[in-house]
Amino acid sequence: MIKPHGSDTLNPLFVYDTEAHHKLIQEAQSLPSLLLNSAAAANAVMLGAGYFNPLTGYMNLADALSVATDLKTTGGLFWPVPVINLTKESGVKAGQRIALRDPNVEGNPVLAIMDVTAVETVSDEQLQLMAKEIFGNTDPKHPGVQVFTSLGNTLLSGPIQVLNFSYFHSDFPDTFRTAVEIRNEIAERGWQKVVAFQTRNPMHRAHEELCRMAMERLDADGIVIHMLLGKLKEGDIPAPVRDACIRKMVEVYFPKNTVMVTGYGFDMLYAGPREAVLHAVFRQNMGATHFIVGRDHAGVGDYYGPFDGQTIFEERVPAGALEIEIFGADNTAFSKKLGKVVMMREAPDHTPDDFINLSGTKVRQMLSEGKAPPPEFSRPEVAQILMDYYRSTL
């Protein structure tokens, strides 16, 4: 199986040993506490689940700045996005051992224990520099920039021991999986060549066919549909609805035992190309050998070029930095000429009118009015789930 990023074996930060776990829970009750923001909590979940291998905790300021500007830590580890614990003024001191509390679960249970190695002040200029590098802009209207620049100016760094997976296990028991669990299932299925598909949306015909194309062209054993289960921007479709849509599509339209439907606990960054590389890192960590990067991957609005998520692998990722291979895809749509979904670049004799390609706004309007998009665009079973959701929000 493909090696994890940066080490020979996966090293998740979740404490699996029952006795050690119990002792840490007990210890946490007597430790000073810090209530995390959602971004820092999501980082803890990803560290615990092994997706951020080989990191051992939150980065210090030097590493965060180095990763933002040069895509590597000060020690030389390739990494695309800072993994940090930014907060408002906390009163925490270097050398303390503290309990990190979950902002997303009632009662704010302890999510992890942290050994604080440094407490540093991040200047507004440094925040803006990191935002510009990570998101490609500093526009306060960009949802990722908006969140990142509002987290605070105090950066806590140091190793952590993770004690639970926040709300993801309880809210998505059939879908949330750690990198450890996905690796184990890939091994159990005997898959050698595995394609990963990232989604934060329900999957329409174009997404479905893109997965099928990748599997066929790569002669893959299976595909892992890996959906984001954390916080999104306002207006995005909730995770339970997306989950239902994807499961129905797989159940009806894919052969048995060729698809794993899974999810991970992370908040969407909307960081475009940088997030595409981050997605590749944790797909390698979960055992995928190939990763689909499509048009405007992890994008939002008009902040990124349509293929920036692909070209960054050629322009900014050093040779050998990642073992996972990228399957670069164009926009896919149903061709009325050919009677099937195709990549647009592979149909040079087509005009825009030869494709069935609806805007997101048009699709949302149709669904909220109880009108199903054409079956060439969306499977009727999926459209029904979405119509039910939109009508329930009226």
Tokens of 40: 């820092």
d(CA 266, CA 269): 9
Q: Which pair of structure tokens corresponds to residue 138? A: 């500093």
Residue 43: name the closest of 31, 33, 55, 32 by CA. Answer: 55
Q: Please state, in angstroms and rounded to a whole number, the distance separating the CA atoms of residues 384 and 117.
A: 52
108, 153, 201, 331: which one is catalytic? 201
Coil, strand or helix: which one is 58?
strand
Known catalytic residue: 201? yes
Residue recorded with tokens 């296990």: 169
Catalytic residue among 200, 212, 247, 316: 200
Cα separation of 54 and 285, whole Å?
9
Which tokens in the block code for residue 183?
Answer: 């690796």
Helices marked H in the chain: 18-28, 38-49, 61-70, 124-135, 143-148, 168-171, 179-189, 205-218, 239-253, 273-285, 308-315, 360-368, 380-392
Catalytic residue set: 200-201
